[in-house]
Structure 1
Amino acid sequence: MTDRNKLIEKFRVSPGKKFDLADHDPDWSGDKDVAVEKRKEYAKESLTLDVSELAEAQEMLYADNSWSLLVIFQAMDAAGKDSTIKHVMSGINPQGCQVYSFKHPSAEELDHDFLWRCNRALPERGRIGIFNRSYYEEVLIVRVHPELIGAQRIPGVQPGEALKKEFWEHRYEDINSFERHLTRNGTTIVKFFLNISKKEQRKRFLKRIDEPEKHWKFAASDLHERNYWDDYMRAYEDCLSATSTEHAPWYVIPADHKWVTRAAVAAILNQTIRGLGLKWPQISPAQAAEIAKAREELKGE
């Protein structure tokens, strides 16, 4: 195993083991014995290479037309989901990639089960689908604010009952079964938790407030949710412990340094697609004969 692969495994949440955020430093940026400028340069070169290789891998994914790739991003506000998607996917053909951002559910979505709205947005074979937030909100924000369960009108479930352990176990079970079903039918899944520290989030919020061109990014609700930081961290620990599986792993990516986040995500996505064993389609003898005939006709013009 190369150092690069060891690094990727460092971020992966082991299935069946209790996940502890204390074991994952949001400020991690590599070997401290190496000058930070050298680490930044290595990350930049790695990102450039992976972005280029992702473009080729996406083309093969499309040509092979047997797998689709679902990429899920979850994080606290200001962790860098949007910018990571922008930079890592910068070389991707837009025709083969779709991004969905899931906000507060609509009335129509609340009339269905909690997986429905995401199920509708799944990528077709040969395409990459990116979820900026996802059905995992149902075991994160709803875990922190159980009163939201009332809007879902689940028979026999009252808002207070959402605090029961069995409720969340059932949701984890539903999510794991859903992802197993997708994988068995040709959708490979990779999930990223961008792990930002509370200190760094404060810094980024202040930047949004102090710089007029960033005011549009700030919402008072973001600051309100910051008051529930510890509750969210416990919800993430339980969620990642219960739903990181061999077929749909979670990766906890240090997010205090954006150059680390982007390089790590790009490397993992490349490894994931390359691991699918994709091949360029083989043409039939009849197609080969048609190609040869077309060549001769074009040369004869």
Structure 2
Amino acid sequence: MNPAEFFVQPNKALDLSTIPTKVTPVFKSASQYSKILSEHISQLSEIQELLYASNSFSVLIILQAMDAAGKDGAIKHIMSGVNPQGCQVFSFKHPSPIELQHDFLWRTTRNLPERGQIGIFNRSYYEEVLIVRVHPQILISEGLPNVVDIGKTIWQERFNSICDLEDHLYLNGVRIIKFYLHLSQEEQRKRFIERLDAPSKNWKFSQADIDESHFWPQYRVAYEECMAATSTSEAPWYVIPADDKRNARLIISRIILDNLSQLKMAYPKASPARKKELNQIRKQLKAQTFPKASPSTTHAGG
């Protein structure tokens, strides 16, 4: 598998209808899938520890997709071996009244990962050029000045704001990796039916999910223009075939590993003064003695 084949070329027209939603799996059996995923998880755990120790970079992983594409499952499986202290997941739904009183980037930027951390955005500030574009009435509710005629200008302005933000973050050590889980309409339909039949999932399913799927063509255009305008070498977009959940997870985890392996990180080196301090601590520990514990006495019950 070559991760470059999933990379969205910057400023080049993108046509999602020409990109497959299912490709030849990178695994040949269920056991091989489990083995590869386990290897990826182990490698990611090691890199996360190094990321935390070096304390120079942070990583932001963004997942966007249509409903039922598998974002939650990807997060659950791929990040299962990462230390919870070094990883945070944020999901963004409809803005709250307080969030609507701020610029469209505010509610997500306040949750950016600190140095040494991995942050995952399940949906993100990109919703502001996706769902808001498909449902422009949301834009009206944001109280922006002089928003009367909603044309392409405002979306280009938002693309520029997003690119400026991601350039700024890159210069400050944040490495951004963005994934679009590319699902077919037929596969979404099948997964919706599976959700209806599963008590653990159908409680959160509603007519609104079906209604939203009717806007599929509008969302496709919004995603195409959004990714073409905001994919860069510093903050790349990857289109992941998502009809096969397991294959999608392996592709995503491989791309994350490839991106993180390019970071120049190392465990902190101890200075002479620090080494001297550690030696003193070692001597103290070796010199410690403790009274022997009295043997416990047991009595037979009866």
TM-score, L = length of structure 2 = 0.92
Q: For residue 54 of structure 2, what is the aligned residue in structure 1? A: 64
2:193 partner amino acid: L
Q: What secondary structure does 1:217 align onto?
A: coil
In structure 1, the partner of 2:109 is 119
Check if 1:237 corresponds to 2:224. Answer: yes
Partner of 1:50: 40
SS at match of 1:107: coil
Q: Number of residue pairs matched? A: 288
Return the alpha-carbon distance in structure 2 between the equivalents of residues 39 and 176 of structure 1: 41
By how many angstroms is 1:16 displaced? 2.2
- From 4, 10, 26, the equivalent of 2:5 is 10
Structure 1 position 42, deviation (Å): 4.1
- Partners of 1:26 and 1:109 in 2: CA distance: 34
Q: 1:45 to 1:23 in 2, by over 3 A?
A: farther
- Equivalent residue of 2:89, what SS? strand
Structure with max Cα Rg: 2
2:141 is matched by which residue type in structure 1? A
1:50-107 deviation per Cα after TM superposition (whole angstroms, max 9, x unaligned): 1001111001101111111011000000001111000000001111111110010011
3-state DSSP class of the match of 1:38? coil
2:145 corresponds to which letter in structure 1? P
Task: For 2:8, give the aligned amino acid.
Answer: V
Deviation at 1:41, TM superposition (A): 4.5
Q: Conserved in 2, the CA contact under 8 Å of 1:69 and 1:123?
A: yes
1:179–1:248 Cα contact (<8 Å) kept: yes
Matching of residues 1-301 of structure 1 within 5 Å: 4=1, 6=2, 8-30=3-25, 38=28, 40-158=30-148, 161-162=149-150, 164-301=151-288
Instruction: Report deviation, 1:295.
Output: 2.2
Q: What letter matches 1:150 in structure 2?
A: I
State the 1:153 CA deviation: 1.0
- Structure 1 gap segments, 5+ residues each: 32-36
Tell me, in whole angstroms, the C-alpha distance in 1 between the residues paired with 2:147 and 2:175. 33
Rounded Cα–Cα distance in structure 1 between residues aligned with 2:91 and 2:10: 27
Q: Say which is worse superposed, 291-300 or 203-212, in terms of deviation.
A: 291-300
- The one-letter code matched in structure 2 to 1:121 is N
Greater helix percent: which structure? 1
Q: Which segment is superposed worse, 116-125 or 11-20?
A: 11-20
Task: Give the CA deviation at 1:283.
Answer: 1.0
- C-alpha separation in 1, matches of 2:223 and 2:162: 15
Percent identity of the aligned residues?
Answer: 50
Q: How far has the Cα of 1:274 moved from its partner? A: 1.2
Question: Is contact 1:68–1:124 with CA below 8 Å preserved after alignment?
Answer: yes
Offset, 1:39 = 5.5
Contact 1:65 1:126 in 2 (8 A): yes
Shift of 1:292: 1.9
Q: 1: distance between equivalents of 2:237 and 2:204?
A: 27
Give the partner amino acid of 2:179.
F
Deviation, structure 1 residue 290 = 1.5
- Deviation for aligned residue 1:40: 4.8
Correspondence for 1:34 = none
Q: C-alpha deviations, 1:114-145, integer Å up to 9, x for none?
A: 00000111011110110000010011111111
Q: CA deviation at 1:291?
A: 1.4
What is the identity, as a one-letter code, of the residue corresponding to 1:71?
I
Instruction: Give me the whole-angstrom Cα distance separating, in 2, the residues matched to 1:127 and 1:197.
Output: 33
Cα pair 1:44 1:263 within 8 Å, conserved: no
Residue 188 of structure 1: how far off its partner (Å)? 0.6
Kindly provide the amino acid, as one letter, of the partner of residue 174 in structure 2. T
- Give the distance between the partners of 1:237 and 1:216, measured in 2 at CA: 32
TM-score computed with the length of structure 1 as normaliser: 0.92
Displacement of 1:146 in angstroms is 1.0
Question: How much has 1:48 moved relative to structure 2?
Answer: 1.1
Alignment RMSD (CA, Å)? 1.4
Alpha-carbon distance, 1:297 to partner:
2.9
- 1:276: how far off? 1.0
Residues 208 and 217 in structure 1, CA contact (< 8 A), matched pair in contact too: no
